[in-house]
Amino acid sequence: MSDLAVVGAGPAGLAAAVAAASRGLSVTVVDAGRQPGGQYWRHPDEQTADPDELASHGQHDWTAYVRLRERFDDLLGPDRITYVPGAQVWFTERAGQGWRLRLSPVVEGVASSDHVPTEVVVDALVLCPGGYDRQLPVPGWDLPGVLAAGGVQALLKGHGSLAGRRAVVAGTGPFLLPVAAGLAEAGAEVLGICEANAVTGWVRQLGGAVQSPAKGLDAVGYVRTMVAHRIPYRQRTVVTAIGGRDAVESVTTSRLDAQGRLVAGSERTAAVDLVALGWGFTPSLELVTAVGAETRVDVDDSLVAVVDAEQRSTAPHVYVAGEATGVGGAALALQEGELAGLVAAADRGRGGKSRRIRRLQGSISRGRAFATAMHRAHPVPPTWSSWLTPETLVCRCEEVDVGTVLRARDELGGGDARTAKLLTRTGMGWCQGRVCGFATALLAAQHEGRALTVDDLRPTAKRTLSTPVSLGRLADLAAVDPEATVVALD
């Protein structure tokens, strides 16, 4: 039994594991990836790649990763850090005063799956599950060649693969810049970045923007790349349709006025084979809800975990760090992860409330201020549904279109995401609402003229089983320790 389990080996998870192990806790790190780094530091397979080329595919802050990885590797060993890659947590339950994690390999039947234990019992948890691209439907977005912006970057970082040769990057937020820059540097022709908002939105957020001057330097670097590759940056511009027969062949963009309405006659159509769409990120909260921790709606309308000033959640002996507490980027995730690891150790008598903890709290406060400014400067346009057609798919897994969702809402009382799911099967497919849940909730809330609530978003995040699992592993639940207190499944 370890003192602490850290779930996730991205920036927050690595920082938490190193901090806790350095203070003397025995730490088990469970991660779905085959190697540390998470989505942010995704890189080619270390077993086959040239070490000198690992950072050559669109990486950022690679030096920080190398330093943290060296510390992580130095701490690997019995009673320090036990690393379990290629593993996912599919069920979580109380075990006395601690927690039992039920594990399964991400890919069953491969040689590496033999090294994944069936369970891990620990005194405390640090959950660092990260997040994923938030998406909104648009006519034609189900065509091959339409990818989430994060997926485009993941292909480039992990495999050096271009998702297309002639691309448009669209949505909102600073993340569009590195995606476009990475594509251009890898040889793609980027016809433009379509930003739904205007950069003047930052003027009203200067108080938060100045809290992270390093972000400004990053933006300058991306702008240089855009200038070098002649990538236009079109403000208040959105993708309103994607055309093609068997794959993407064209994209239509339109301008928005100051109120977010489509400007008549502003449509432009261009031939492309890739459309990268990104409307920010949203946290992965399956494990947060599985342990019974409270959640709230953040300023960007994402559901996030409730934590105190020392990263403690409302569930006993559970800390949360990184994007799950609010999307704010890798630098903030590193600070929150380190703080969670240090506090977890201090709570178990390994080191007191040090000056380092206080410095981290100050840095996190500034990072959160910047994140709030970013979200307010790059909101989802309130008129986003105006360019949808009744035939536009909302749920691609179950092929449920906008017309079906609206009829369920207006005629059958499906005025919330949960009821819409029961009436239309939206969110019942493979993604379990991760892709369509946000859009479905927005459609319901907009109809009633209200903001999103926890009740709108939590049903999509809460699942009895956190990940798909084989029937054989599900049958293992029959061997649950009878003295364990199982978390309620309602």
Q: How many domains does the chain have?
A: 3
Question: In terms of domains, do 445 and 337 share one?
Answer: no
Question: In terms of domains, do 227 and 296 share one?
Answer: no
Question: In terms of domains, do 270 and 300 share one?
Answer: no
pLDDT level of residue 487 (50, 70, 90 thresholds): very low
Q: Is the four-CA dihedral 239, 324, 89, 22 of positive or negative sign?
A: positive
From the list 389, 400, 464, 466, the residue with the least C-alpha distance to 437 is: 400
Residue 381 belongs to some domain of the structure: no
- Report phi then psi at 233, rounded to 5: -115, 105
Question: In terms of domains, do 224 and 114 share one?
Answer: no
Question: In terms of domains, do 270 and 142 share one?
Answer: yes
Residue 200 neighbours by CB under 8 Å, 6+ apart:
none
Question: In terms of domains, do 115 and 237 share one?
Answer: no
Say if CB 275 and CB 145 are below 8 A apart: yes
E strand or H helix at 281: strand 281-283
pLDDT level of residue 160 (50, 70, 90 thresholds): confident
Question: In terms of domains, do 15 and 90 share one?
Answer: yes
CATH of the domain at 292: 3.50.50.60
Question: In terms of domains, do 474 and 425 share one?
Answer: yes
Write the pLDDT tens digit of every residue in 220-252. 888 899 999 999 999 999 999 999 999 999 999
Q: Lowest-confidence range among 111-120, 242-251, 327-336, 471-480?
A: 471-480
**DSSP secondary structure letter of residue 387:** G
Question: In terms of domains, do 197 and 224 share one?
Answer: yes
Question: In terms of domains, do 313 and 426 share one?
Answer: no
Question: In terms of domains, do 39 and 109 share one?
Answer: yes
Domain boundary among 248, 278, 308: 278
**What's residue 40's pLDDT?**
92
Question: By percentage, how much of the chain surpasses pLDDT 90?
Answer: 72
**What's residue 67's pLDDT?**
95
**What's residue 416's pLDDT?**
76
Question: In terms of domains, do 169 and 148 share one?
Answer: yes
Domain boundary among 229, 258, 278: 278
pLDDT above 70: residue 403: yes
Question: By percentage, how much of the chain surpasses pLDDT 70?
Answer: 94
Residue 365 belongs to some domain of the structure: no
Residue 337 belongs to some domain of the structure: yes
Six-digit token string for 244: 């093609």
What is the average pLDDT across 353-357? Answer: 87
- The residue range of the domain holding 429 is 388-489
Say if CB 461 and CB 285 are below 8 A apart: yes
How far is Cα 157 from Cα 349, in angstroms, rounded to an integer?
40
**What's residue 489's pLDDT?**
34
**What's residue 472's pLDDT?**
80
Residue 366 belongs to some domain of the structure: no
Which residue type sits at 12? A
